[in-house]
Amino acid sequence: MLYYADDRRVVYGVTIGILLMETTIPFIPGDVGNATSYDFPVLYQTVKGLTTMRMFEKDQTAFEEFHAAAKILRKQGVRAITGDCGYMLAFQEELADKMDVPVFLSTLLQIPFILKIIGRRGKVGILCANGESLTHEFLKIAGVSEPDLERVVVHGLEGHEHFREVIHDETGCLDSEKMTCEVVEGTKRLVQNNDGIKAILLECSDLPPYAAAVHKATGMPVFDFNSMIRYVHSVVLRKEFYGAM
């Protein structure tokens, strides 16, 4: 087999490119921003000037920088592009139109799939970084139809002290035990206040480290950024099967 170099590239063999905001948050194992969260290589690119607050506000003026960062990832050969904030859904349609590889910027894109697998009376509970920003109009971008919007219930973690310190205020210090307690507490509150929840979706890219604790506390399926990223990786790099008969 012959192999040829591409003078635009400095790395090879990376399937997933991840767009990052400019933040001061410790990306612990399990976080989208921690490369050891995956058993396959990923490539990161920071979007200049894209802060958490700009994403909560769905600031469309950031799109050009966003697109420029995505093009850098594509030049390095990534086969799909994702992000590190569920509110990047604001750029989903426009960026997907401009790229020649799959784009899946937000974990919220999983909602229609989840609703289909939990039955017509089941609800999906979403734990998110900013409840006020997760409006019905915004969820429509993810493909949630009008009748199904009532089956999506939300709990924002901005009211939880340590979560706000780490994610909103960006103090630069994360206590994983405190964060686990707050995330589980928020999940329990969400389930107690809303009958019929059959699955949990973690919107924020900093929440996957606590997915196992959420699952243990509720017994429900827990979807997050990493479940979505692993799924897309599996379809853009298919493996041959080996075994015995």
3-state class percentages of the chain: helix first, strand second, coil last, to nearest 5: 45, 15, 40
- The three-point CA angle 139-145-148 to 5° equals 90
14-68 pLDDT, tens digit each: 999 999 999 999 999 999 999 999 999 999 999 999 999 999 999 999 999 999 9
Pairing state of beta strands 80-83 and 16-20? parallel
d(C-alpha 12, C-alpha 134), whole Å: 37
pLDDT in tens, 189-241: 999 999 999 999 999 999 999 999 999 999 999 999 999 999 999 999 999 99
Q: Is 81 helix (H, G, I), strand (E, B) or coil?
A: strand
Q: Could you identify the residue written with the tokens 């990923």?
A: 42
**What mean pLDDT do residues 71-94 have?**
97
- For β-strands 80-83 and 197-202, DSSP reports them as unpaired
Closest alpha carbon to 198 in 145, 84, 141, 121? 121
Cα end-to-end span (Å), the chain: 29
Residue 64: CA count within 13 A, CB half-sphere: 1
Four-residue CA torsion sign, 204, 210, 211, 213: negative
**Does CATH number 3.60.15.10 belong to domain 16-106+229-236?**
no
CB 102 within 8 A of CB 135: no
Q: What is the per-residue DSSP string for 205-244? A: TT-GGGHHHHHHHH-S-EE-HHHHHHHHHHHHSPPPP---
* Residue 38 or residue 1, greater confidence: 38
Q: What is the rounded distance in angstroms from the CA atom of residue 35 to the CA atom of residue 38?
A: 6
pTM for the full model?
Answer: 0.94
**Pairing state between β 152-156 and 123-128:** parallel
Q: Provide the 8-state DSSP code for 148.
A: G
Task: Note the pLDDT of residue 83.
Answer: 97
Given this model, what pLDDT does residue 8 score?
82
Residues of the chain with CATH 3.40.50.1860: 16-106+229-236, 107-224
Distance (Å, whole) CA 75 – CA 212: 35
Q: How far apart are CA 204 and CA 37, in angstroms?
A: 15
List the structure tokens of 199.
């699955």
Output the CATH code of domain 107-224: 3.40.50.1860
Question: Taking 90 as the threshold, does the pLDDT of residue 5 lie above it?
Answer: no
